[in-house]
Amino acid sequence: MPDSPRTMLVLAHTGKDNALRSARLVLERLIGAGLAVRVLETEAPDLACAGATVVPPGPEAAKGAELVIVLGGDGTLLRAAEIARPARTPLIGVNLGHIGFLAEAEPDGLAQTVDRLVAGSRNG
């Protein structure tokens, strides 16, 4: 049986221009690397990413995903945690808010962070 494609769920604070720009960059890099990418149907019109699979918000959105990538502030990260938790899917937050207590990554070097996620997960 062939391996199923690696899948990532990308969530963003669509009310912030910097989050939209960053999410589009992440989506392009993930899809370009051959990964399957999901976005929530509530965010899809703003993200405008033709290569992503649109899924309804809720715990099923993260089911079977390798990782949830969150772009926004702590509120966006908490919203993503509610989606990821039932599926037991890990998440990484990119701080695009004011404080970012919960985020693990900063927007500087975002492309390199995504590339490391893609390469690191593929290699073990």
The whole-angstrom distance between residue 97's C-alpha and the CA centroid of its chain comes to 16
- 115 catalytic? Reply is no
- Catalytic entry in 3, 46, 74, 108: 74
- The one-character DSSP state at 81 is H
- The predicted structure's pLDDT at residue 41: 96
The pLDDT tens digits of the residues spanning 19-69 come to 898 899 999 999 999 999 999 999 999 998 889 999 999 889 999 999 999
pLDDT band at 94 (very low <50, low <70, confident <90, very high): confident
Domain locations in the chain?
7-122
Query: Per CATH, which fold does 7-122 belong to?
Result: Rossmann fold (3.40.50)
Distance between the two ends of the chain, CA-based, in angstroms?
Answer: 20
Parallel, antiparallel, or unpaired for β 53-55 and 67-72?
unpaired
Entry pTM:
0.82
